[in-house]
Structure 1
């Protein structure tokens, strides 16, 4: 039976979608958009930017427009499942001089846009008290909106603790450094626990699957998982889309 999915997250969710086959359609993919930025007002301080790829353009310009909720509202009536992963929360946010927020994404930092607000903006790193206060408020608003859209029972949140080794047992290059990665991992788990407390389904990647892939198309990293993890995630998506309980 045909199923329509939306993804708010990263390649952690997007790559396994490709394993689902032709019975599944992707209505929307919102990436590189922290919940803090997504629930912030669109900013007029930074204009749209043209980058090297269509995905980069969509991601950055969507973040500047805070287009998450409008996108979800547009497709919610057709959607069988919304998949969320929090991987991009690792990036933190930037508080702009107008009081709004944008995600500190690679796309933003590679663009000329930050030069226009140099000395006027402030970075807020994840796993800090300030980030948590902002994130918790944004999460409460987002999941309240999802409930209002009728998506509570059609949402799957993925908790994917990061890999520390590849399938060959080799150490994975850290995102920041080993100590900060441990802190970020714990922080993302705390975020998932909060989402679960709001009554939403959270599926946690089993420990034995938390392995990176040395031949991954984007290279090994803590969140570039191997084929077994991707198959598990795809299976969770398929089950949730069919209305089968997942864990």
Structure 2
């Protein structure tokens, strides 16, 4: 039986992930690197550079490919013998030069190292820096070109975007360093909307990971995107769920149940099991708030949960955090987590209210149902592509989102799926669209306040 054939478009992130796959089950078809999605869509018609000053033949080939925009021709040649296209955005960090004819050239470490970047810069009309509105606007157009080409070649359903956060520190605590002037935290902030565009606007299947560590012993050296082994293991496991080894295109379709994946399986700095922690113990009479967080959750959303609890209950709350590795949890994991919660909160308030944001929706639903909680409040819910939550009709869910945010980030199909999901698992829950972010938070906090007031009243009876 032939191996699963993988086409890599991206950086060492995807290429090193491929190396973590079982080599007898996966075969590398081709590798296109150092090529921004922008320059791939509109390369210069002709721009001569003396590439002989670049010593590595591989690097010469990658730079020449970037100058000629080789991505789509290469994809076209391999379309019929490709089972999986792996994509990552790490090489976008270098930005692009806009040339006088309206084409683009990707900046790269090879051009910088060979002293050729200044020559291109002098000939260009402007430099578009990653993360700026100007760069993102052109990237959006280029990303639509990618989606159109994937559709034409019938590769869209066989494409997977790997979206790890840059690692701020290595497994042994060293700072991972900057790249092209970006600290990891800044790069992660800027990268978010690029990944959101690919996943939510263009509908490309995406695997994210927030909790990453770099490796001081990495073969390419220490960098925020040269990861420790567990990160590659995480992505390799995600790939195996989408496209098992020795599987052809017929095996690739809708992703497996989102509730079945639990993240990295090896230790270093990452853990697979949900972490349950009592972070504040107020009193036995006070109600308990369970904050459900995921490692793929955007940092601002995780901070938002803490702020909401502080604004609603002050110090008179028992607070427990449940942290899930990745965006998903299975039913067995939810039941195990609920059992841990019961033990941890044995001496605190028995009335537990759940609070989550973003992609914590399904995890919180599962745990709250297993825990027989009465209510879940979710802010800015992230909508799964495919999910089933069997046999759950126990939790009242109150979801809050900004209409503009909802329409910008999610397809109509995803919205419909989530509304159906909420209708299936709730008794009386609600989905409320507000006009602005302040209204979203205010109404969500009002819902939390009402829930906690009811819980306190129940505790006194």
- Please, what TM-score do these two structures have when normalized by structure 1? 0.91
Structure-2 separation of matches of 1:47 and 1:174? 28
Q: Quick check: 1:170 aligned with 2:174?
A: yes
Contact 2:97 2:121 in 1 (8 A): no
1:97-108 equivalences under 5 Å are: 97-108=100-111
Structure-2 separation of matches of 1:117 and 1:153? 37
Instruction: Name structure 1 gaps, 5 residues minimum.
Output: none
1:5-42 Cα distance to aligned partner (Å, 9 max, x none): 00000111101212221221111100010011110134
Match of 1:5 in 2: 6
Of residues 109, 114, 117, the one that matches 1:111 is: 114
Structure-1 separation of matches of 2:135 and 2:172? 35
Of residues 35, 38, 47, the one that matches 1:36 is: 38
- Please, what TM-score do these two structures have when normalized by structure 2? 0.50
Match of 2:227 in 1: 225
Structure-2 separation of matches of 1:176 and 1:62? 21
Match of 1:192 in 2: 195
**Comparing 182-191 with 1-10, which one deviates more in the overlay?**
182-191
Structure-2 separation of matches of 1:35 and 1:136? 9
1:163-183 Cα distance to aligned partner (Å, 9 max, x none): 0111112222122456x5433
Identify which of structures 1 and 2 has the higher relative contact order when contacts are C-alpha pairs closer than 8 Å and 6+ apart: 1
Match of 1:79 in 2: 82
**Comparing 214-223 with 235-244, which one deviates more in the overlay?**
235-244
Of residues 60, 64, 87, the one that matches 1:61 is: 64
Q: Secondary structure at the match of 1:119?
A: helix
1:203-242 equivalences under 5 Å are: 203-207=207-211, 210-242=212-244
Contact 2:162 2:207 in 1 (8 A): yes
Distance change in 2, residues 1:124/1:4 (3 Å): same
Q: Secondary structure at the match of 2:122?
A: coil
Structure-2 separation of matches of 1:110 and 1:153? 37
Structure-1 separation of matches of 2:171 and 2:63? 33
Match of 1:131 in 2: 135
Contact 1:48 1:64 in 2 (8 A): no
Q: Secondary structure at the match of 2:6?
A: strand
Of residues 28, 45, 48, the one that matches 1:46 is: 48
Match of 1:153 in 2: 157
Contact 1:159 1:204 in 2 (8 A): yes
Contact 1:127 1:183 in 2 (8 A): no
Contact 2:169 2:214 in 1 (8 A): yes
Structure-2 separation of matches of 1:104 and 1:145? 23
Distance change in 2, residues 1:158/1:237 (3 Å): same
Structure 1 position 112, deviation (Å): 5.0
Structure 1 position 240, deviation (Å): 2.2
Distance change in 2, residues 1:48/1:239 (3 Å): farther
